[in-house]
C-alpha cells in the first residue's frame, strides 16, 4: 500500500476569537447519537504492513495560539468547531487548513488529529471513511498522515513530542472491512489486526489496544502492540449496533474494561485477567441511572466513573461513585445537559460542553 497524494500550498491564519457561544441544537450533540451497523468477518492478522511515507508537503501557518507548555487543551465545541483554553477559559479557534471534523487531541504532544473531508461512503455503500491530518501546535505545521479509507484515529496517550504515534483503522478492500494499524509518521502505518470495528482504545501506558470484532467469533480483544499478540477477553460485541463514539474504557486500578451496552444494562465490566464479566447495579439491585454512555472517564478519587450520552433528546453527563469491588454504585449525580469533552486536570476536574458554553467541573474527593 502506497499513498499517492497531490500537493497544496496554503497559508491561512490560525487565531483565537473572543467569547464562547454555541447553538442550542448543535452538530456535535447530534453526532454522538449516530449509530453504525457493522457486519464484519473475523480474521487473524499475520502480516505486517509497513507503509513508506508518501510525498507530502507540510503547511506552515501563522498562529496566535498560547505556548503554555502545561495547559494547552483543544476540544470540540457544541457546534463541531474547535475550542482552545487560555487562563481557564475556552475560546473559539479558527480551523487549521482543510479541517472538517475532530479525531483526537494529545495534550503531551500538542498534536490535533482531524479529518480534512467529510465522512463519505465507499462504493459498496456500507462503510464511511475519511482521511487523517495532524496540526502541531508547537511548530504550527499541518501534515497529512493518511489520505483515504480512515474510520477512526486515536493518539497513544503515553507518547510525547519526540515519539508521537496514533492507532487508526483503515479500510481493507481485501477483507471488505477495517484493519487496525499504528502510524508513527506521515504515511507510515504498521497493520497489526484485521476485522476491527470503530470501538477501540489505548491502554494508558500505550502497551495495548482494546478493540471489538463483530459477526464471526465476535468479542472484545486486547492487542499487545509490541509483541503483536491478540487475546480475547469477552464475547461482548455491541450486538449489531454501536455508536461511532464508542470505545472501551480502561479502569487499570481494577483490571477492568468498561463498555457501553444497551437496553436494561447501560454498562458492562469485563475483567482483563480472565473471562469474568458483570453488569454493575445500584445498591438495591436496580439499573444504574443515566444514559448509555458514549464517552467515559475514570477517576480513582472516590472510585468515580464519569459518563456522557444521549438521554431522550438531550445529552447528559453523570457521575457514578462505585464501591470497592465495582459491583455497585452507591451514589449517582446528574450534571445535566452537557457533553463530557475530557479531563481538565487529570483525575481532578473535567470539561463539560454545554449548549451555552464550556464549564470546568471539579470532582468531589469521595
Nearest to 141 by CA among 16, 54, 11: 11
302-354 residue pLDDT tens: 899 999 999 888 999 999 999 989 999 999 999 999 999 999 999 999 999 99
Give the Cα separation of 364 and 332 in Å (integer). Answer: 12
Give the Cα separation of 210 and 247 in Å (integer). Answer: 8
Q: Residue 240: what pLDDT? A: 58
Of 66-70, 93-97, 332-336, the one with minimum mean pLDDT is 66-70
Cα angle at 309 between 156 and 17, to 5 degrees?
70
Residue 49 pLDDT exceeds 60? no
Nearest to 195 by CA among 89, 63, 57, 42: 42
Residue 96 pLDDT exceeds 80? yes
Averaged pLDDT for residues 252-257: 96
Task: Tell me how far CA of residue 313 lies from CA of 33, 291, 337, in angstroms.
Answer: 9, 11, 10
Nearest to 318 by CA among 266, 355, 356, 269: 266
Residue 264 pLDDT exceeds 60? yes
Contact between 323 and 309 (Cβ < 8 Å): no
What percentage of the chain carries pLDDT values higher than 70?
78
Averaged pLDDT for residues 270-299: 92
Give the pLDDT band of residue 66 (cuts 50, 70, 90): very low
Residue 360 CB: number of other CB atoms within 10 A? 14
Q: What is the 3-state secondary structure (H, E, C) of the chain?
A: CCCCCCCCCCCCEECECCCCCCCCCCHHHHHCCCEEECCCCCCCCCCCEECCCCCCCCEECEECCCCCCCCCCEEECCCCCEEEEECCEEEEECCCCCCCEEEEEECCCCEEEEECCCCEECCCCCCEEEEEEEEECCCCEEEEEEEEEEEEEEECCCCCCCCCCEEEEEEECCCCEEEEEEEEECCEEEEEEECCCCCEEECCCCCEEEEEECCCCCEEEEEECCCCEEEEEECCCCCCEEECCCCCEEEHHHCEEEEECCCCCCEEEEECCCCCEECCEECCCCCCCCCCCCEEEEECCCCEEEEEEEECCEEEEEEEEECCCCCEEEEEEEEEECEEEEEEECCCEEEEEECCEEEEEECCCC
The chain-wide mean pLDDT, for the chain, equals: 81
Q: Residue 263: what pLDDT? A: 65
> The cell 459518563 sits on which residue?
307
Residue that wins the pLDDT comparison between 196 and 126: 196
Residue 29 pLDDT exceeds 50? no
Buried b (16+ CB within 10 A) or exposed e, 212-231: bbbeeebbbbbbebeeeebe
151-187 residue pLDDT tens: 999 999 998 878 899 999 999 888 888 999 999 999 9
Give the pLDDT band of residue 59 (cuts 50, 70, 90): very low
Give the Cα separation of 213 and 194 in Å (integer). Answer: 9
Give the pLDDT band of residue 24 (cuts 50, 70, 90): very low
Of 85-89, 111-115, 327-331, the one with minimum mean pLDDT is 85-89
Amino acid at each position: 500500500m502506497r499513498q499517492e497524494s497531490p500537493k497544496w500550498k496554503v497559508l491561512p491564519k490560525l487565531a483565537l476569537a473572543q467569547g464562547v457561544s454555541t447553538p442550542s441544537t448543535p452538530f456535535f450533540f447530534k453526532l454522538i447519537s449516530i449509530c453504525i451497523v457493522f457486519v464484519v468477518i473475523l480474521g487473524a492478522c499475520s502480516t505486517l504492513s509497513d507503509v513508506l511515507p508518501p510525498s507530502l508537503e507540510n503547511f506552515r501557518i501563522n498562529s496566535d495560539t498560547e505556548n503554555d507548555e502545561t495547559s494547552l487543551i483543544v476540544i470540540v465545541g457544541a457546534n463541531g468547531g474547535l475550542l482552545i483554553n487560555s487562563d481557564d477559559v475556552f475560546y473559539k479557534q479558527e480551523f487549521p487548513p482543510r479541517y472538517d471534523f475532530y479525531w483526537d487531541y494529545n495534550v503531551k504532544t500538542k498534536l490535533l488529529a482531524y479529518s480534512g473531508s467529510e465522512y463519505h461512503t465507499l462504493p459498496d455503500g456500507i462503510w464511511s471513511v475519511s482521511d487523517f491530518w495532524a496540526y502541531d501546535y508547537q511548530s504550527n505545521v499541518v501534515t497529512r498522515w493518511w489520505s483515504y479509507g480512515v474510520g477512526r484515529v486515536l493518539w497513544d496517550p503515553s507518547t510525547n513530542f519526540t515519539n508521537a504515534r496514533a492507532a487508526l483503522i483503515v479500510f481493507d478492500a481485501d477483507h471488505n472491512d477495517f484493519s487496525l494499524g499504528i502510524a508513527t509518521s506521515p504515511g507510515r502505518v504498521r497493520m497489526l489486526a484485521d476485522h476491527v470495528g470503530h470501538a477501540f482504545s489505548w491502554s494508558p501506558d500505550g502497551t495495548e489496544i482494546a478493540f471489538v470484532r463483530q459477526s464471526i467469533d465476535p468479542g472484545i480483544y486486547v492487542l499487545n502492540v509490541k509483541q503483536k499478540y491478540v487475546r480475547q477477553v469477552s464475547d461482548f460485541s455491541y450486538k449489531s449496533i454501536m455508536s461511532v463514539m464508542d470505545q472501551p474504557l480502561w479502569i487499570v486500578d481494577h483490571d477492568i474494561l468498561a463498555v457501553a451496552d444497551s437496553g436494561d444494562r447501560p454498562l458492562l465490566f469485563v475483567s482483563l485477567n480472565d473471562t469474568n464479566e458483570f453488569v454493575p447495579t445500584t445498591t438495591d439491585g436496580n439499573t444504574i441511572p443515566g444514559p448509555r454512555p458514549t464517552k467515559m472517564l475514570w477517576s480513582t478519587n472516590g472510585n468515580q466513573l464519569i459518563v456522557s450520552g444521549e438521554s431522550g433528546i438531550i445529552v447528559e453527563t453523570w457521575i457514578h461513585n462505585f464501591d470497592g469491588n465495582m459491583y455497585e454504585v452507591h451514589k449517582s449525580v446528574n450534571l445535566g445537559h452537557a457533553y463530557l469533552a475530557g479531563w481538565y486536570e487529570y483525575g481532578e476536574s473535567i470539561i463539560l460542553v454545554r449548549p451555552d458554553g464550556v464549564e470546568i467541573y471539579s470532582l468531589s474527593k469521595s
